[in-house]
Structure 1
Amino acid sequence: MVTTSRSLSRRSVLLGGGVLLGALTGCGVPAAHVPAAERAAADLSRREKRLTWANWPLYIDTDEERPSRRPTLEAFERRTGISVEYVEEINDNDEFFGKISPALMNRQPTDRDLIVISDWMCARFVRLGWVQEMDRSRQPNVTKYLDPLLRSPAFDPGRKFTVPWQSGITGIAYNRRRVGREIRSVSDLWAPDLKGRVTLLSGVDEAFALLMQGNGIDITRWTADDFHTVCDQVEKQVAKGQIRRFTGNDYIKDLSSGDVLACQAYSGDVIQLQADDPDIEFVVPEEGAELWSESLMIPNLARHKANAELLIDHYYDPEVAAELAAWVNYVCPVPAAQDVLASSDDEETAALAEDPLIFPDAAMRERLAIARDIEPGERQEFARRWNKIVGL
């Protein structure tokens, strides 16, 4: 088994780009929207057996002895004869948006056939009409094996434009030995003995859902009042000195050192931390936690759409999904991969099948939900208020 840590900026902080996005996806630039009839280019897939795929660093399996090799990707190339140019160029959702949005806005090709970005950013691409609907007749594995929990987010009902690459959970991480008791609820973060040793995520898109769930809110249909209630609560905790700081993925360092005892965290990070410190726990609170994805999309005017659709389906073969899950350690969007890992002759690999942070068990699944994203008309107001609290 090979594992690696998540890219430090993969679900990165929403800075000023949030305001830009709010203006662009709202009424400020109506010409940015591309109607369905103008999204497709002539597909050269049959003649040109290739495609270009943009992804995040450290987000695919590699060969332990030869890191430049990617076994699951090479298997696709051998099976189909399609050559894949795999580019690790996405380090931040907003940064990548800025990189390719001029082309998409102006009805020009991006020179990429497949991209992977966080679902909250995917929502903007879908609303703007910047991505193409996929042909599920070329994707029988996606149709059959995609996790039911991920099949119909509010921003893309039925997943017509997006397919999850990997998924994860935003919950609570804490050091059980140092805290000396269990943490089970969002409200436990506000306990007096944790004063000054709690962190929250700084990005508004990353932070708000879990905090709302702590208030008993259904995050699939939250309201502006729910958002402002959370902000009021967080402001009070900041004033009391309960919250040490707001972080990106650097909470990992704080939790490992003991400077922080409990924090908002991503499930994939905690799997890596537990390898070095088994006292670190990840909790899906009693009130629930947010299930999120980073998803594959085919941008407008991609010249190898059919090839990209075949590649996506390749990764929904349970055997392939299992191989990838064993390496990246995120929540696998293909539940059928669990049985593949469980049957492995390698003891350590087989044990991954029982890890609820890769394959959530039934009890955990009941407490997971995909939050509706912040809509264009809300973003500027919400980002301004949240960023003022965070100090951005």
Structure 2
Amino acid sequence: MVAPFPPNTGPMIVGGASPRWSRRDFLGRIGRGAGLLAAGGLLAACDAGSSSSSEATAGRAPIDWEEWWSTKRATGRLDFANWPYYIDYTQGGRQSLNAFTEETGIHVNYFHTIDGNASFLAEIEPYLEADLTPFYDLIVMTNGPQVSKLIDSGYLTPLDHTRLVNFDTHASELVRDPAWDPGNRYSVAWQSGITGIAYRPEAVEALGRTPTSLGDLFDPALEGRVGMMTDLQDLGSAALLAIGVEPERSDEQDWVKAADGLREQRASGVVAGYYDQSYVQALRSGEVWISQAWSGDIFQQQQLGQEIEFVVPEEGAILWTDNMLIPRNAKHPADAMAMMDFVYRPDIAAMIADWVWYVCPVPAAARIIARRFEHPEVASSPLVFPPTESMGPNGPYKAYKVFESDDEALTWESIFGSIPLGL
């Protein structure tokens, strides 16, 4: 039986000037998301040909996935759910999807239906829990509690890496073997992004210098002009980095100290508000002069002529990843695997990266963007093609905390979740 929920696609808005939606939603709908976060859990890592420990956790009979995949063939159809404005689009349509259909014969039903990780999980989880065939064969979600929930509950299909030749050949080291999914057992990256700081000329004038530090978000010279995020992953991670603690190595004592700093920041009057994707408009209008920001949004604004700059704070910035995942019982898993591998061809990755302007998982795409598409400003941007050495203890990019238990995830939410609510 196929899950009977309809896709909520909405109208597709074409053109680079369209505002982009958030790629993440940790806080999201706090009433719906809180219950889901309680179920977020441990990551499972197994050999590709073995049964999954998450199946045992979920009470299902183990599956020999190597044998299971040996029986799967492409059917000619793929139902693909992604975030709005997150794939190439021109007057000729989505060129990457058109090329995929022409070369494979697989027709893609593409739904830009995801507007938050928590809300999307709330939509699909009842059908996954009931072991129904989900509507979507391929979904895109951000590393965090919701992806951990999907893995730990046995709601995802382990990938057949024999079908990921392009990924094995071309994937950046930044997206291989991530902490939240060791060995890329369940996921490969769609795109990544960087959470740093964006600022207007007024912030430079108020500070008397160019912003360089997370400490600038706490500076009284910017009273009433600072934007902070409602996304608890980004809000808490920035607060930790501001006190010199890397989120992935932090503990509850660190979280309490970081949250105290955020309360002091709020009480000082420097915060104009806590924003989701609307921080972009707040920056454009001058409502805020400096804000936490996502790299792709600001790069887009720069190309549109806005006087908004993006900086990786000296304390570090968070590199996050939106992941392609195949739900358990997907009707067309081989077609989904074909798409996963197809977008790791450098020419296809270049089509997508040249439009979305987030971090591309295929370094070889930069040369194509610079030469074939004649966009050297995209190819040379560290916001689209960051160097591999940028991750790690000595690099500017840090990772989200990977929660080791459900209770730990709930504790993070309880500590940081009250900040945007004024509690």
TM over 0.5, shorter chain: yes
Which of residues 382, 399, 410 is equivalent to 1:356? 382
Tell me the amino acid that sits aligned with residue 105 of structure 1.
E
Shift of 1:242: 1.7
Is 1:378 paired with 2:378?
no
Indicate how the Cα distance of structure 1 residues 34 and 341 shifts in structure 2: closer, same or farther if over 3 A, else same: farther
Give, in whole Å, the separation in 1 of the partners of 2:362 and 2:70. 28
Indicate how the Cα distance of structure 1 residues 172 and 241 shifts in structure 2: closer, same or farther if over 3 A, else same: same
Post-superposition Cα deviations, 1:104-132, rounded to whole Å, max 9, x if no partner, equal: 11222113211111111222211222101
Superposition TM-score, scaled by structure 2 size: 0.84
Post-superposition Cα deviations, 1:276-304, rounded to whole Å, max 9, x if no partner, equal: 44531111111111000111000101122
Q: What SS class does the counterpart of residue 389 from structure 1 fall into?
A: coil
Give, in whole Å, the separation in 1 of the partners of 2:77 and 2:217. 50
Indicate how the Cα distance of structure 1 residues 151 and 362 shifts in structure 2: closer, same or farther if over 3 A, else same: closer
Tell me the amino acid that sits aligned with residue 84 of structure 2.
P
Give, in whole Å, the separation in 2 of the partners of 1:7 and 1:357. 16
Give, in whole Å, the separation in 2 of the partners of 1:296 and 1:381. 28
Is 1:20 paired with 2:35?
yes
Residue 249 of structure 2 corresponds to 221
Which of residues 132, 136, 146 is equivalent to 1:108? 132
Shift of 1:3: 3.2
Give, in whole Å, the separation in 1 of the partners of 2:59 and 2:163. 24
Give, in whole Å, the separation in 1 of the partners of 2:362 and 2:69. 32
Contact persistence 2:196–2:313 (CA under 8 A): yes
Residue 327 of structure 2 corresponds to 299
Shift of 1:5: 4.5
Size of the alignment, in residue pairs? 384
Give, in whole Å, the separation in 2 of the partners of 1:164 and 1:380. 26
Post-superposition Cα deviations, 1:167-222, rounded to whole Å, max 9, x if no partner, equal: 10000101135423211111122222112111110121232222212222222222
Contact persistence 1:197–1:261 (CA under 8 A): yes
Residue 357 of structure 2 corresponds to 329
RMSD: 2.5
Residues 368-377 or 154-163, more deviating: 368-377
Indicate how the Cα distance of structure 1 residues 39 and 329 shifts in structure 2: closer, same or farther if over 3 A, else same: farther
Among all aligned residue pairs of Structure 1 and Structure 2, give the percentage whose two residues are the same amino acid: 35
Q: What SS class does the counterpart of residue 419 from structure 2 fall into?
A: helix
Indicate how the Cα distance of structure 1 residues 6 and 160 shifts in structure 2: closer, same or farther if over 3 A, else same: farther
Tell me the amino acid that sits aligned with residue 324 of structure 1.
I
Indicate how the Cα distance of structure 1 residues 84 and 296 shifts in structure 2: closer, same or farther if over 3 A, else same: same
Residue 76 of structure 2 corresponds to 49
Shift of 1:42: 8.3
Contact persistence 2:40–2:148 (CA under 8 A): no
Give, in whole Å, the separation in 2 of the partners of 1:38 and 1:101. 21
Indicate how the Cα distance of structure 1 residues 36 and 239 shifts in structure 2: closer, same or farther if over 3 A, else same: farther
Contact persistence 1:201–1:248 (CA under 8 A): yes
Is 1:3 paired with 2:2?
no
Give, in whole Å, the separation in 2 of the partners of 1:36 and 1:130. 13
Residue correspondence of structure 1 range 139-178 to structure 2 within 5 A: 139-178=164-203
Contact persistence 2:41–2:149 (CA under 8 A): no
Residue 132 of structure 1 corresponds to 157
Residues 363-372 or 335-344, more deviating: 363-372
Q: What SS class does the counterpart of residue 408 from structure 2 fall into?
A: helix
Contact persistence 2:220–2:268 (CA under 8 A): no
Give, in whole Å, the separation in 1 of the partners of 2:304 and 2:108. 35
Contact persistence 1:172–1:284 (CA under 8 A): yes
Give, in whole Å, the separation in 1 of the partners of 2:351 and 2:61. 36
Contact persistence 2:21–2:83 (CA under 8 A): no
Residues 71-80 or 51-60, more deviating: 51-60
Higher relative contact order (CA 8 A, sep 6+): 1
